[in-house]
Structures are given as structure tokens and as C-alpha cells.
Structure 1
Amino acid sequence: MTKFTDLLWEQTLPIYEKIKLHPFNQELQKGSLPPEKFRYYIYQDSLYLADFARAIAMTGTRAANSHELLDFLEFAQNAILVERALHLSYFKEYEIEFDSGKGPGCFAYTNYLLATSAFEPYEVSVAALLPCFWIYKKVGDHIYANQTTPNPYQNWINAYAGEEFAHSVQKALNICNQLAASASEQTRQRMIEAYITATKMEYLFWDGAYKLDGGFGLYGLGC
């Protein structure tokens, strides 16, 4: 029997292929990504993770049982710990001192997740959060398997291709499948739409980092 998440993957496979082949990930895989682009990506990722943790926690409070609530609280804690680790390691190593705030890609993605977790049904919110787990795991595995070594970004690659992260991803997939199995057809369709939207946001996030999309101030929209 086809799992609901298999359907989600099939629906967004073209977007994933674009993410995998994006110059940011191709150059990171080869170790040739310019440091300034990686620095900007890490800065944006730290801003993203702070709001991602909030969206996860809000979603978890609406879980139907204590098992899922605990899973989501663990997801949120892990996101916060990763965000803190970025500051303690990468921020120091790469001397990151940005203060421009979120770029357009990060801003759009985090606000979409926060709005979804606050106003959409629990099932839809879970589907919207899934790409950040699943897409990152898939990209991390691909880069790990095809990387040029030695690679200056080895620590990042190892983190997303590791077993600990894989365990969290599988938990998120299982929850999504369980929810879809008992959801109405209308809710399932909204879950699909939310997953597709968030997957598109994943692409925009990497694209913005590669283009150094700056903050809104660089677009003539600052105060």
C-alpha cells in the first residue's frame, strides 16, 4: 500500500531535483562554495531555526496524544540546540556578524510556517513542517554520497547525513502518515498543498542564500 508521504514525494520530486542541482548545493558538495555565501546561509539558517522551533512547538500543543506532543517538543528542542550550536561554532569560525535580519526567502518561509501552525488544522501544519526535515535529509544524504573530499563544509554535511537526524525525520514521516490515514479527503488535499508550498520555500531559501539576497533594506523597503 502506498504511503501518503510517498505521494507527497512524487508530487514534489521536480522541486527536489531543482534543489539538489542548485548551484549552492552543487558547490557545497564540491567544497567550492564561496565562504561569504556559506556565512550568509548560516546566518539566515539561525534566524529560520528560531522561528521553526516556535512553529513546531505551537503545532505540538495541538497534538491529539501525549506521544506526538513529546515528539514535537523534542523536535523543537533539537531545532533550538542546532541554532545555538550555529552561534557557538560556525558564527565563531566564520566570524559571522550580520545584523541585516531575514532575507526575503527566510522571511516568507518562517512566516508561512508560523501562520500555518497558528491557524491551520493540526494535520496541515504537520505537513507544512515536514519538508524541513525530509528535504534536508535527502539533500544531506546526496551531498554526503557525492562530495569532494576533503571538504571545508564537512561538519555541515555530517550533521544532516547523520543517524540522529535520520531518526527525527522518520518520526516526522510516521506522524504525517498516521494523520493522513484518518483524515478526510479535504484535509488530505490541504496537507498536500501545504507540503508543496513549504517545499517551494525550501528552494527559495537556498536560492536566496546563493544570491546573497540581503535583508529587505537592500530592496529599498527598509526604514
Structure 2
Amino acid sequence: MTRARALWEAHLDLVRRCEAHPFVQGIASGELPRERFVFYVEQDAFFLEAFARAYALGLAKAPDRETMDAFRELLQGVFEELRLHEGYAARWGANLRPEPAPATQAYTDFLLRVAALEPVGHLVAAMTPCMRLYAHLGTFLRPRTNPNSPYREWVETYSSAEFEALARRLEALLDRLPGEEKAQRALYRAALRFELAFFEAAWQATDRSG
């Protein structure tokens, strides 16, 4: 079993909690209150900018041209995601320059600290859970999604072959780059915990118009 697959399977408890989270389920049913999705989009835009910076630091630490090429592709994928968020902002009035919520700030601080201070093999262990989780949730939700859900585009994006290819690209780096096993496992689990906290923060968001 590859390192990426072993780490994923070792943390299926957190994956199942993400699958069952009411925020995620509300995307599929279409019943998620709009203000909670808009809050999520805003916070995710902040997060993705930090994710892009972490990829850029990974590229700078890359030990060879092959790894540099992989990080370049992954970085481009983040900018594609940000364009999706620009579409949401135009339709629903999301602010893509928000103040970060505590859960968002904690997650981005974690990623950027690992990117700056840890070896690149540890960085990919901290970044892979986000990509694999979203590819998984897109595939998981697709057959369960109400065709009339206003969030169907989110599901289609993360269940696409293009996004799956990016997730596999990052997992290939996790399999190939050296790292200390215990540290990688801890970073992987921490990232999944941050993902769950991110969904919970969006679920708890209330209408800020009043």
C-alpha cells in the first residue's frame, strides 16, 4: 500500500465525520442556508490564497525538476478554484477579502508554518488531506445531490476528473518525497481536523446582514 493510501485509510474516522457533517449534507440536499454557504466561500477564498503560498514554498524547496513541475500544476489548480469563487461572489455577493474566522486563521497558520519550517515531504503530508478530502466528497455527494441544489456546481467541480488528477498529483509527491513517518501522520491528521473545524465554522455562521 502506498504511503498516501495508508494515511487516508488510517484517518477514515475523520473522513466519515466530514461526510456526515450537516454543512456537507446541506450542499447535497440544497437545504443549506445561503448565508452559511456565502460565509464558507468567503473563508475558503482566504484559505486558498494561503494554500497557494504554501504550494509556492513547496516549489521553492523542491529537490528536482519533476517536483517543481508538480507544484507548478498544483498552484495553477488553486487559481482555477479561486475563479470558481469569483463566480460565486458575482452571483451571491460574497466578499473574497474577508477577515478570517478563527478556524480559518488556525488552518492557514498551520499550513504556512509547515511550509516555512518543515521539509517538503512534511508539507505535502499537511496539504494532501485537503485535496483528497474534496475529491472524495465530490464523488461521494454526486449521486446524492439534488439536481435542483443551488450548490450543485460545487459538487461537480470537486467530483471532476480534473480535480481528481490534481489530488493524485499531490499524493504522488507524498509517496515519493522523503519524510519522517510519525511527523507525516500527525500533520495529516491535524489537517483533517482543521477541515472538519472549517465545515463546522461555516455551519455555525449566521446571517450577518442584521
* TM-score, structure 1 normalization: 0.88
Counterpart of 1:217? none
- Report SS of the residue matched to 1:102: coil
Cα offset, 1:7, TM superposition:
1.8
Counterparts in 2 of 1:1-80, with a 5 A limit? 2-80=1-79
* TM-score, structure 2 normalization: 0.93
Would the aligned equivalents of 2:157 and 2:163 in 1 still touch at CA under 8 Å? Answer: yes
Would the aligned equivalents of 2:42 and 2:97 in 1 still touch at CA under 8 Å? Answer: no
State yes or no: 1:188 paired with 2:181.
yes
Counterpart of 1:219? none
For 2:172, the aligned partner's letter is: N
Counterparts in 2 of 1:76-155, with a 5 A limit? 76-87=75-86, 89-97=87-95, 100-155=98-153
Which runs of at least 4 in structure 1 moved beyond 4 Å after TM superposition? none
Would the aligned equivalents of 2:43 and 2:98 in 1 still touch at CA under 8 Å? Answer: no
Distance 1:99 1:113, change over 3 A: closer
Counterpart of 1:199? 192
Counterpart of 1:178? 176
Cα offset, 1:150, TM superposition:
2.0
Distance 2:96 2:116 in 1: 29
Distance 1:157 1:84 in 2: 16
Distance 1:4 1:98, change over 3 A: closer
Count of matched residue positions in the alignment of Structure 1 and Structure 2: 207
Distance 1:173 1:213 in 2: 36
Cα offset, 1:81, TM superposition:
3.0
For 1:201, the aligned partner's letter is: F
Distance 1:213 1:15, change over 3 A: farther
Cα offset, 1:212, TM superposition:
1.3
- Report SS of the residue matched to 1:61: helix
Distance 1:190 1:28, change over 3 A: same
Distance 1:136 1:58, change over 3 A: same
Cα offset, 1:213, TM superposition:
7.8
Distance 1:123 1:79 in 2: 20
Distance 2:56 2:69 in 1: 10
Distance 1:75 1:99, change over 3 A: closer
Most deviating of 71-80 and 105-114: 71-80
Query: CA RMSD, aligned part only?
Result: 1.6
For 2:149, the aligned partner's letter is: N
Unpaired segments ≥5 residues, structure 1: 215-223
Cα offset, 1:9, TM superposition:
1.4
Distance 1:167 1:9 in 2: 16
- Report SS of the residue matched to 1:152: coil
Would the aligned equivalents of 1:104 and 1:213 in 2 still touch at CA under 8 Å? Answer: no
Distance 1:179 1:101, change over 3 A: same
Cα offset, 1:27, TM superposition:
1.1
Most deviating of 36-45 and 146-155: 146-155
Unpaired segments ≥5 residues, structure 2: none
Q: State the Cα deviation string for residues 73-109 of structure 1 (Å, max 9, x = none).
A: 221122123213312x100101124765000111111
